[in-house]
Amino acid sequence: MNTKIRLNQRQLTLLMSNLLITKMTFSFPRYLFKTSGNAAWIQAIYMSLLAYIILRLSLAFFKYVGNKSILGLSESLGKKPLKMAVSLIVAFIIVIHTTTEMRTFLESVKIILLPKTKIEYILIFFGATVAIGALCGFNSLSTINALFFPFCLFFIGSLVLFLIPTYNINNIFPLFGTGVKNIFATGILDMHCFSDLLALNLLYPYIGDIKTIKNSGTKAVLISGASLTLICLAYGLTYPYPYSTEFLLIPYQLSRMVKAGEYFQRFEALFEFVWTLTHLLYSAIYVYILCLVFQNAFKLRSAKSLIPCIVALLSLISFIPSSVVELLDASNILKRFMAPFALFLPIIIPLIYTLKQKKKGDNPR
């Protein structure tokens, strides 16, 4: 399943940007406004800087560990028991992120696009599409994503520009919103929005060199951080606090505000198109990565047969909470708990491996 995966720098950059931006810009900004008020854009910049530092720390050990992911390194350190433990943690993190986005997307589609359609039918169609996408293979997914995702970035930039007539500079004052403490201390708890950087480490074995990884990772953090900052700033300039904490899908609410001339009055239709394709690609990519995790953990020759089962399992898990609000609140707590694992395992495990190898006097690679 994975022997023929090869990603170039552009594909990897846009793939990581998708994984970060899909969650970060579509449903996540609401939590920033609850934490920092209309200073959410400052918190977005702050978190982006922290994410960049964490990324650089995780890449600092590449010359010692080579292109081994934390799964391969954990097996070298603690044999199969440690590898299984790390694999289960990674799988749990991916499941939490994927199921949250899946349920949020499906509920929103029902409310916005298909109010008379049973959500079970929407789920079946969505799951089938994701499974087909994952079965096409990772190379196909990364290629399609590289072709489409620039349109998503263009949409975000256009949205910010078209909203300029609605901006009111007074809405972002006081400048530090609910307080400096909430932005720079409490705001650290929202770093889970960058937990998708874990996927970069899992893709190490399929990437040619450290230069590609560094450039793609850095660009992905920059693109996602800039997108989140622009969305938060545009929303904060448009809606005053505390009214700005009321909406779940902030980009959708902003797209409804766009009025560009007499014949362009439905900008939200473009949002719905971009939003749908982005989530389909996001889910299919993570389903495939989850298959790679299980393949690596259980030494499977091929894991394609797992794809339908994994899609079905993710769908069932996403509907355990009785409502999307309950799901978001529960998942937000779980994401905050799991964020340290997602962000720091790619630093701690290579560090321990490097120190152990140096202690033996061997070449770490």
Give backbone dihedrals phi and psi of 7, rounded to 5 degrees, phi first.
Answer: -120, 130
Residue 237 has pLDDT above 70, yes or no: yes
Burial readout 335-347 (b: 16 or more C-beta within 10 A, e: otherwise):
bbebbebbbebbb
How much is the pLDDT for 29?
A: 83
Residue 364 has pLDDT above 60, yes or no: no
- The residue among 301 and 156 whose pLDDT is bigger is 156
Using CA of residue 189, residue 194, residue 196, residue 197, what is the dihedral sign?
Answer: negative
* pLDDT tens, residue by residue, 80-103: 899 999 999 999 999 988 988 888
Residue 1 has pLDDT above 50, yes or no: no
Q: Which residues contact 292 (CB under 8 A, 6 or more apart)?
A: 1, 2, 202, 303
**Tokens representing 2?**
């994975």
Q: State percent of the chain over pLDDT 90.
A: 48
Query: Do 178 and 36 form a contact (C-beta atoms < 8 A)?
Result: yes
Binned at pLDDT 50, 70 and 90, residue 246 comes out as confident
The residue written with tokens 């198109």 in the block is 273
**Tokens representing 317?**
């898990």
Which of 5-14, 92-101, 225-234 is modeled with the greatest confidence? 225-234
How much is the pLDDT for 110?
A: 87
Q: State percent of the chain over pLDDT 70.
A: 95
Bridge partner residues of 7 (DSSP): 207
* pLDDT tens, residue by residue, 28-58: 888 899 899 999 999 999 999 999 999 999 9
Q: How many residues does the chain have?
A: 365
Residue 12 has pLDDT above 70, yes or no: yes
Rounded CA-CA distance 273/278 in Å is 9
How much is the pLDDT for 95?
A: 92
Measured from the Cβ of residue 305, the count of other Cβ atoms closer than 10 Å reads 11
Domains, in order of start, for the chain: 9-360 (1.20.1740.10)
Burial readout 186-217 (b: 16 or more C-beta within 10 A, e: otherwise):
ebeebbbbbbbbbbbbbbbebbeeeebbeebb
- The residue among 323 and 230 whose pLDDT is bigger is 230
How much is the pLDDT for 263?
A: 63
How much is the pLDDT for 52?
A: 96
